[in-house]
Amino acid sequence: MRTTITIILVSGMAVVSFSQIFLAENMNAMIVGVIVFLLYCIIGFLLVRYSARESSKEEILKKKVQQRTEQLKQGRDELEEQTLEFQKSRDALQTRAAELESWYQMIIQRELEMRILKKKIRVLQEGKDKSINASDKAR
């Protein structure tokens, strides 16, 4: 778009400059008009070429930005997927850890009860042994 506008403006000015050559009143004005026309054509050509290059670079940059944006979106989507998987794994691990903790507490409780029962058994055996010894002595 910018290049098209530049071409139109340069062409318009070239036409005006070219028409001034034929409207010149004397030979010196005509020579100056030709020189101005040629300089304007050269400068206009360079301006149009520069504008075209800049437009081309701008299009290339837009495409690169678009590609990079797509890459970033894909990366974000992949990261979100990995985050969801991580959260699922973490939840599963927390559930498993809670199960193991309950098993651990149950085993600890069982061991404590076993100690208490062993002490009771020992006390009962000692009481039985004493009663057996007492009955043996009594006979």
* Residue 136 confidence (pLDDT) above 70: no
Give the pLDDT score at 3: 84
The SS3 of residue 1 is coil
Residues 132 and 139: their CA atoms lie apart, in Å, by 11
Query: Quick one: how far is CA 95 from the chain centroid?
Result: 30
Amino acid, res. 63: K
Nearest-5° Cα angle at 10, 5 to 15: 125
Q: Is pLDDT at 134 greater than 70 in this prediction?
A: no
Give the separation between CA 100 and CA 8, rounded to whole angstroms: 80
User: Could you tell me what percent of the chain has a pLDDT over 90?
Assistant: 64
Instruction: Give residue-wise pLDDT tens across range 32-48.
Output: 989 999 998 999 999 99
pTM, two decimal places: 0.52
Task: Give the pLDDT of residue 137.
Answer: 67
- What domain count does the chain have? 1
Percent with pLDDT over 70 in the chain:
94
Mean of pLDDT values over 17-44? 90
Task: Give residue for tokens 């299009």.
Answer: 59
pLDDT in tens, 37-96: 999 899 999 999 999 999 999 999 999 999 999 999 999 999 999 999 999 999 999 999
Mean pLDDT, the chain, rounded, equals: 90
Measured in whole angstroms, how far is the alpha carbon of residue 64 from the centre of its chain? 17
Q: Which domain holds residue 16?
A: 2-138
